[in-house]
Chains A and B, each alone.
Chain A
Amino acid sequence: MLLLRAIGLILLLTMAGPTSSKAAEPDLRATVAKLATATGFSATEVVVRELAASGDPAVERTLSALADGNLYIRKSDSQVFVGKEAGDGIELLDPLSGEKAADAAKTDLTKIKVNNGLRRTIRDALGTLTLRAKDPGVRLAAAMTMFKTPDAANIEPLDAAIAAETDPAVKMMFDQARSASILASDKPEADKLAAIGVIGARGDRDALSLLTSVEANAQGAVKDAASASIGRINSTLALWDAGQNIWYGISLGSVLLLAAIGLAITFGVMGVINMAHGEMVMLGAYTTFVVQQVIRTSFPGLFDWSLVIALPLAFLVSALVGLAIERGIIRFLYGRPLETLLATWGVSLILQQAVRTIFGPTNKEVGNPSWMSGSFDIGQLAITWNRLWILVFALAVFAVLLYVMKRTPWGLQMRAVTANRRMAASMGIRTPWVDAMTFALGSGIAGIAGVALSQIDNVSPNLGRGYIIDSFMVVVFGGVGNLWGTLVGAFSLGIVNKFLEPYAGAVLGKIVVLLLIILFIQKRPRGLFALKGRAVEA
């Protein structure tokens, strides 16, 4: 206890003023030199604690070298060095500055032995040292380490650190680490109960595992408090899990929405089953690849803008290919939906093989711009930027499309043709033109979906294959000719899929979803939001 008080005292002193935070270097050297004379693990431990008590970040090098078994004593003059293997011999570095001091043969040196107990002491000492690092991130990490390896010895340094801390987030973490240490100490019950309260408020998996071990070892009120707290944490965690599933589901739903929304337009307005829709997505992804290649070789500075540049290009490429398909093939097959299905399947094979011939069968690397990489946390949720942007993008595409359909003359014509083709034609709407433009629009939307999907999927000639069945499921489930139906269909399928996954596994979950849709279609053959009208079945 005396030692602990000494450490606390020194810490307090060092906290008092920044200038005094560094012990004089000669003193440190003297302490380090004691390692050479200390015999036995317990004597070494005393020196380690003394070093830690100095509070000087410079001793970190010595301590970590000691923990790694890289600290040596030179037999000739009993000086302590950090050793680094260099060829046959060992390169000796100064224990404090880390500068190269000398070379030596292995036989000239004695290694300072450490055992597990000593390593633990060293680790804790290092944790304490970093509590006062300048970088708040380092302080947070140190507190985190202490939280995970609670030790009664940590309480006093933490008390000191809490008193000096200004950053509220770090302070909270210190408080939690202190509470964890209190639970590991023999402090009175009241303190422990308060500590359980602090840790329970943390409410994550680390808190849960800590409290579980407390519950197993404690008796009486502490045990009860711990188990009550565990119950609360478990229910919060269950909520977070559900939240996580919903987020994953929404993310999957946004991907499905992107893939399916173009299909919803062509299918809904023209009754055309476009099996080449997936290949339009693929063309968009490959357009992104080409744009990035050009940017990489010619304008490296523009890389962060590559997706923004690729969007209109992908729209154009896919829309033009779609227009060509409509004018060249589908035009002749109106009124024969099954034949359209076959012909567009043929087109999809040709497009796939064409891309394979031009770009090769392997996956192409499409990079993430900096604003799409990384992730951030909300509570217990880790949200990656690319998924979030794709969600935003999908919703934006949806909104734009909704605007086009509801508020522009073109959209009005499309809706008129959907509702009653002959009447629309009688009113002077050029239905063939509307068909061609609609098909081009649907294909173009698939193209920009490809830009987004290139960020999370492999860009290969088979990219479209993976989405085609899913997109059809979304459209059929949501109801044809209704954009809102597609939205609801995509997100509900995404969420249901992700909720089934933990219970059934990814593959089985997908199978269950497919079966559910097949059953659903029996109940509502025209989907969730069926078009109302006088369309008579043939």
Chain B
Amino acid sequence: MITQRFFGADRRIALTILALLAAAVIVPLLNLAVPPQSTFYIPPYIVALVGKYLCYALLALALDLVWGYCGILSLGHGAFFALGGYAMGMYLMRQIGSRGVYGNPILPDFMVFLNYKELPWFWHGFDHFWFAALMVLAVPGLLAFIFGWFAFRSRVTGVYLSIITQAMTYALLLAFFRNDMGFGGNNGLTDFKDILGFGVQADATRSALFAASAVTLALAVSVTAAIVRSKYGKLLMAVRDAESRTRFLGWRAENVKLFAFTVSAIMAGIAGALYVPQVGIINPGEFDPANSIEVVIWTAVGGRGTIVGPIIGALLVNAGKSWFTGVLPEFWLFALGGLFVAVTLLLPKGIVGMWDGWRGKAKSLRAASLAAEAGADPQAPEPKIVRSAARTPGAWSASGPEPQPAE
């Protein structure tokens, strides 16, 4: 019984939040207060790397809110992430001031290089942190709101929605590659000096950014959990599982989806804003549709429709990516491709979902054996979790096991 409570969903979320908060305290401490000779010392590059993973985890969690709980497979969440990153990048660019290569106090280097005479109108205000922070929330949120308002109102669903979200991020990719856009063309924004007056390269700043990422992720976990557990969360899942039925019951499915989509985009934007100072660059490559699809696999590996799953998935897949690209660079794409295929075929509920299924099976078996008063065969039939999971269609796809035309 203790295990049941221990592994129950609420307990798990609380544990995750606690672990993140603990990491936010301990990792910077081990980096800054422990001498480098110590075995407990965490080198700065690990801090930066894990900090980056935490931003990815936040992005995966954002996608999970729309995909796992609302059934909207967005292939354009990388766009919201990148837009948040660009908003932060613009603030960081303005902080460089006259320390750039050309020493222009107003114009960033690339504008001097491209013969800009004055700051474009959309760059005004980004010298204030509060304004940039507002834009980190507002720009992705607004784009998602407008996009979602059009898309959900006209009932664009399923793969059609996936394809147009992909088209959206592709269009933004092309747009940001243009030098005339005023966002640095294909070099993007880089060469940052400091954030809020602290040097971005300093160990203390890196640790602080790590802590900020961990705390933000913890916050996002609790917000997502609160949304999912509320009555509204039930509605989200209702739309996911049977959209038409929800609509016939009198709910406005498009409003439900629009809310989830916008909240999710804002979360993705925050993730991007935390990501940029830690990696030190933002360029249009972040808009690449392939990146957005990679986010989907993080969520799928960990387990969609769970809150902890995407975080585990993002950390695992990215750690795997770092390891692979270091050791066997040419095999990373094989591994990633194989992961896509294996997860969809064998692990449709992800690691966390499989764990839950296994737990549930074990628990019911134990209950059955208790009820049978020790008469049970110790070689009880093995729970065929993996196969049965693979045979079960996605919970929300109401159709049978056969393909549906034009779905």
Contacts and interface: CB of A to CB of B under 8 A. Distances in A.
14 contacts: A329-B341, A334-B402, A337-B404, A338-B159, A342-B296, A349-B333, A425-B402, A473-B163, A507-B175, A508-B178, A511-B174, A518-B164, A522-B150, A538-B398
Interface stretch (B201-209, B213-221, B269-277, B389-397): B389-397
B156 A538 contact: no
Interface in B28-76: 73
A338 B293 CA distance: 12
B345 A332 contact: yes
Interface in B350-368: none
B405 A480 contact: yes
B234 interface: no
A335 B159 CA distance: 12
Interface stretch (B135-143, B165-173, B260-268, B306-314): B165-173
B405 A271 contact: yes
A343 interface: yes
B322 interface: no
Interface stretch (A284-292, A315-323, A350-358): A350-358
B73 A338 contact: yes
A382 interface: no
Contact of B293 (A267, A345, A357): A345
A259 to B, nearest CB: 15
Question: Which one of B153, B170, B243 has the greatest number of beta carbons of chain A within 10 Å?
Answer: B170
B162 A341 contact: yes
B403 A272 contact: yes
Interface of B: 73, 147, 150-151, 153-160, 162-164, 166-168, 170-171, 174-175, 177-178, 242-244, 289-290, 293, 296-297, 300, 330-331, 333-334, 336-341, 343-345, 348, 390, 393-394, 396-407
User: Top 10 A-B pairs ranked by shortest CB distance?
Assistant: A346-B340, A349-B337, A350-B337, A353-B333, A514-B171, A346-B337, A522-B154, A343-B344, A346-B341, A334-B403
A295 interface: no
A421 B403 contact: yes
Interface string A436-471: 000000000000000000000000000001000100
A353 B344 CA distance: 20
B177 A521 contact: no
A421 B403 CA distance: 8
A476 B163 contact: yes
Contacts of A465: 290
B397 A510 contact: no
B243 A538 contact: yes
A422 B400 CA distance: 10
A430 to B, nearest CB: 12
- From B162, B297, B344, B403, residue with most partner A Cβ within 10 Å: B403
Nearest to B297: A342
A514 B297 contact: no
Most buried by A among B163, B293, B296, B338: B163
A536 B150 CA distance: 22
A343 B160 CA distance: 17
B298 to A, nearest CB: 12
Given A333-B345, A350-B333, A525-B160, A480 B406 contact: yes
B62 to A, nearest CB: 17
B177 to A, nearest CB: 7
Contacts of B150: 518-519, 522
Contacts of A342: 293, 296-297, 300, 340, 343-344
Contact of B348 (A268, A339, A350, A531): A339
A480 to B, nearest CB: 4
B178 to A, nearest CB: 6
B178 A335 contact: no
Interface string A354-397: 10110000000000000000000000000000000000000000
Nearest to B399: A335
Contacts of A419: 405
B344 A535 contact: no
A476 B168 CA distance: 14
With most chain B CB atoms within 10 A of its CB, the pick from A268, A272, A480, A538 is A538
Contacts of A422: 402
